[in-house]
Amino acid sequence: MRHTISVLVENKFGVLTRVTGMFSGRGFNIDTLNVAPTQDPSTSRMTIVTRGDDKTLEQIVKQLNKLVDVLHVQDFREDEYIDRELVLLKVSVSKQSRAEVMQITDIFRAKIVDVQPETVSIEVTGDETKVEKFIMLMETFGIIDITRTGKVAMPRK
C-alpha cells in the first residue's frame, strides 16, 4: 500500500540526510521525495511517498517524530488531501504526428513548452492517474526524455 507523508522540518544543513538516512537505515524505501521551503524561510516541507502496511507506516511516523529538526509529521492516508505532480517530457514528432500530440496535450490541459523540428517538450501537472495516462499516450509517439517532480501534497482542511 502506498502512503503519502508530509514532514515539516527546520530548514537546516543535514536535515534531508537524517530523514533519508532513517529510511535507509531501517530498510524502508522512498518512492518519491519532494522538498521545498515553505512561506516561512526557516522551515521546509518534505512530501514523501513510501510503501508498506499499517504497521510499517506507524513505525515510519514514530521514527520521523524522533528526529532532530522535525517539527510535524502528517500521514495523509486517512485525511483528505490534494496532491499534484509535475512532469516534463520530450516527445518525438513528425509532420504527421505533431497535430495529434498537440491535440492530446490540449485535452489533458498540458502545455507545450518547447518546439523543435523533430520534438516537442510538454509540461503536464495533475494527480498520479492523470499523469500516468498522459505518459502512456505519449509513449506511442516515442518519449525521448522525461523528468518528474514526485508528488506534493497538502491537507484540504
Instruction: In whole angstroms, give the CA distance from residue 113 to residue 12.
Output: 34
Environment class of 147 (CB within 10 Å of its CB; exposed 0-12, middle 13-18, buried 19+): exposed
- Regarding whether 34 and 18 lie in a shared domain, the answer is yes
pLDDT at 78: 62
Percentage above 70 pLDDT, the chain: 99
User: Cell match 511516523: residue?
Assistant: 61
- What is the reported pTM? 0.84
Q: What's the domain count of the chain?
A: 2
User: Cell match 535507509: residue?
Assistant: 24
pLDDT at 79: 64
**CATH number for the domain including 35?**
3.30.70.260
Q: Are 123 and 84 in contact (CB under 8 A)?
A: no
Of 75, 110, 136, the last residue of a domain is 75
- Regarding whether 31 and 53 lie in a shared domain, the answer is yes
pLDDT at 72: 96
Q: Nearest-CA neighbor of 88 among 49, 57, 120, 59?
A: 120
Q: Nearest-CA neighbor of 3 among 46, 47, 36?
A: 47
pLDDT along the chain (157 residues), means of 10: 93 94 92 94 95 90 94 84 95 96 98 97 96 97 96 88
